[in-house]
Amino acid sequence: MSEPDFIERLFVFEATTPGSPEAREAQHHVLMNLHRRIAVREADERLIRMVNTTLRTVLIPVLGLALLELVRRLVS
């Protein structure tokens, strides 16, 4: 079961669970914090993928060209 499905099931459980208003409010806060943590982790993973892509497509080729230029100047 994926995390979004799990969260959705928790919200359904919360909505159908009997209890005092205070207990339901506390349960809701726990679920919202869990949902927020998952969203932050997913954003972190997207940022890491973006940085890796940038390194592969921009930085490494630029460093390679700079190294080639340095070798060319040393040889000549």
Contacts of 1 (CB under 8 A, 6+ apart): 9
Question: Sign (positive/negative) of CA torsion 22, 27, 28, 30?
Answer: positive
Look up residue 12 and give its two tokens.
């359904």
Look up residue 15 and give its two tokens.
């909505």
Is 8 in contact with 35 (CB distance < 8 Å)? no
Its pTM stands at 0.55
10-residue stretch averages of pLDDT, the chain, 76 residues long: 72 73 80 85 93 90 93 93
Q: What is the pLDDT of residue 1?
A: 61
Is 54 in contact with 62 (CB distance < 8 Å)? no
If DSSP codes are grouped into helix, strand and coil, which group holds residue 17? coil
